[in-house]
Amino acid sequence: MLKYKIDILEKLKENGYTTYRLRKDKIIGESQIQKIRNGELASKETLNTICRLLHCQPGDILEYIEEIEK
């Protein structure tokens, strides 16, 4: 399962991108912001945008955690 390594919205805020600005400037839509808030994986397009804004690679914000089957 893929999971966020960092608090994406907090990191964006530190870089000047509040959720208000993300929505207002149509950088990231509300549905994608909600997915990030809920720990759900955002779309590939949104992940591309996040990496561009934070000047990072996907591996800097995502990690794979193996699920243990019951």
pLDDT in tens, the chain (70 residues): 999 999 999 999 999 999 999 999 999 999 999 999 999 999 999 999 999 999 999 999 999 999 887 7
The pLDDT, as a whole number, for residue 36 is: 98
Q: How far is CA 8 from each of CA 53, 64, 68, 70, rounded to the nearest angstrom?
A: 11, 16, 26, 30
The pLDDT, as a whole number, for residue 52 is: 98
The pLDDT, as a whole number, for residue 67 is: 87
The strand ranges marked E within the chain are 2-4, 62-64
> What's the pTM?
0.88
The pLDDT, as a whole number, for residue 68 is: 85
